[in-house]
Each structure stands twice: as C-alpha cells, then as structure tokens.
Amino acid sequence: MKIINTIEELQAIRKKLNGSIGFVPTMGALHDGHISLIKNARANNDIVVVSIFVNPTQFLAHEDFDKYPKRDAADKKICELCKVDYLFMPEISSMYQGDDEVLVKAPKISGFILEGEKRPGHFDGVLQVVLKLFNLVQPTNAYFGKKDAQQLSLISQMVKNLFLPINIVECEIIREADGLALSSRNVYLTQEQRKEALAISKSLNMTIISVTKGERDSTTIKNKMQEIMSNLDIEYIAIVNKNFEEIQTIEVKNTIILIACKLGNTRLIDNMWI
C-alpha cells in the first residue's frame, strides 16, 4: 500500500492508473463500518483508494472538529490488511486554498431538512470536499454507507446534477452485536450512555416488527419509537421516502426511518430502510 500525502503526488499517480478504481472517502478512526465499504470496493475494482481527511468545512463552529478521534497508525494498518492500494491523507492547507473558494451548495430543500436543518452548512462542506476528492481520484465506483442516509442521497444527487461519471454504491449499515450502529463518535460515550444508546436500534427494530405485522401509520410508529427512546434527548425522528419527503403512510421498499439524538455532548444518528 502506498500512502499519499500531497495533491501533486496523487495527481501524478492517478494519470498512470488503468482499470476500475473503487474509492472510499472517510474521516478516519476506521471501524467495521468503514471496513465493509473497503471490502466492497476491493471485491469489485482493480484498484482501491481510501482517503482519510477530517474535513473542517463540514463541522459547525461548536462541533467536535478539534477533538474528532485520530488513529492514524491503526488506520494505516487496517487499510494495509484490507489490501488498499493507495491511502490518501492530505493536509487541510492543500485541500483548501483560502476562504474565498468557488463553492458547491447543497440543494435548498433536501439539503436543509433533518441533518441540514440541525447542522446548517454541514452538507455544503460535505459536498465541497467530496467533489474535490472525486476530481482528484476520478473513481469508477465510490462507496458510501447508508448510515449517513441523507449524505448518501445528496452525493447521489450531486453526481447526477453535475454529470459526474461516477457510480455511487450504497453500503449496508454495520452494527455492534447488540445493535448499536458503528460510528467513530461512539468512543465519546460513557459506559452508561453506551447502554442508553441501545434504545436507538431497539426502536428501529421495533418498527420492522410493527411494519411486518401490518402497521403503516407514521405517527403511530413515531409515538412507539419515542416511548422506547424516552430517556434520550431526541433531535428528530423522521419517516421519509427515498426522496426524503416526509410520508404519513409507510411504503415498503421506499421508506427510511431516521433518528438523531444526543447523549450528553455526543450526537448520534441512525436509520432503518424499510
């Protein structure tokens, strides 16, 4: 595996690459969720590129940019074991060229609901950095987790709207054995919060059982979820179709149930695709 730290080196290497390129953008502190994306890329491409870049422009001023977990040595080892060909770890100063850049903006409606409403500007930053990374890596296939469902949807829309010749591959959510969705931010949780956080996946699992039994009413499902998560500080529970429009009646195979909540200062998101 080759580690690349500069834009110039990446561009020089990219010019010489032939064959399909699978790309997995991450912010590091790699866990089994990231690994599943990398394995998917490895299984379906000639060349695998992973990036680790904690992108400052997608964090709001009060968020955890400064303390976002960093595990560079472990991350390199993981990538090596997963047979990644190129690991791109750029500096902030090389990815951004000042405060007055040409910007890509999240769409006014779907980019400013749910996560976009709670974290205004977040998706602008995500799209900005992903577009830069796409332009540098020029992947055939790019792998994103359903864990960040709205991000995945907006990146797919960017690819479509800007005519980028990249196939976006949606990857399943990876969970701990007890149901907690893997996240680099889980390390912030105290033991007590870690236990309380299980209510999130429990409430999502309940929705599957309810829908299987025939329940289709969003309000009924949301009320049941709220009961299960009564100890948590819920930011939102939303039931949307795949266009991220809120729906009153659940449509099987076209519904995403989303949760954002806080445990102390730690913000967790999770979702279930029904």
Contact positions toward ligand AMP, by CB under 6 A? Answer: 26-27, 33-34, 36-37, 144-145, 147-148, 171, 173-174, 181-184
Q: Which is nearer to ligand AMP, 218 or 244 (CB)?
A: 244
Q: Which residues of 64-84 are buried (b: 16+ CB within 10 A; e: fewer)?
A: eeeebeebeeebbebbeebeb
Strands (DSSP E) contained in 12-138 are: 21-26, 47-52, 86-88
Strands (DSSP E) contained in the chain are: 2-4, 21-26, 47-52, 86-88, 141-145, 167-171, 233-240, 256-263, 266-273
Q: Which is nearer to ligand AMP, 30 or 221 (CB)?
A: 30
Beta bridge partners of 169: 143
Q: Which is nearer to ligand AMP, 106 or 173 (CB)?
A: 173
Give the residue closest to ligand AMP by C-beta.
145
CB 21 → ligand AMP: shortest distance, Å?
17
Query: Which of the residues 31, 34, 62, 122 is marked catalytic?
Result: 34
CB 172 → ligand AMP: shortest distance, Å?
7
- Token pair 């910007």: residue: 103
Which residues have CB under 8 Å from 257's CB, separation 6+?
Answer: 204, 207, 221, 225, 237, 238, 239, 271, 272, 274
CB 210 → ligand AMP: shortest distance, Å?
23
CB 149 → ligand AMP: shortest distance, Å?
8
User: If you ran DSSP here, which 8-state letter would residue 174 be given?
Assistant: P
Q: Which is nearer to ligand AMP, 173 or 238 (CB)?
A: 173
Cα-Cα-Cα-Cα dihedral sign, residues 10, 122, 124, 22: positive
As a whole number of angstroms, the distance between CA 210 and CA 222 comes to 11
CB 25 → ligand AMP: shortest distance, Å?
6
**Cβ contact 145:33 at 8 Å:** yes
Q: Which is nearer to ligand AMP, 32 or 251 (CB)?
A: 32
Question: Is 34 a residue of the active site?
Answer: yes
- Catalytic residues, which ones? 34
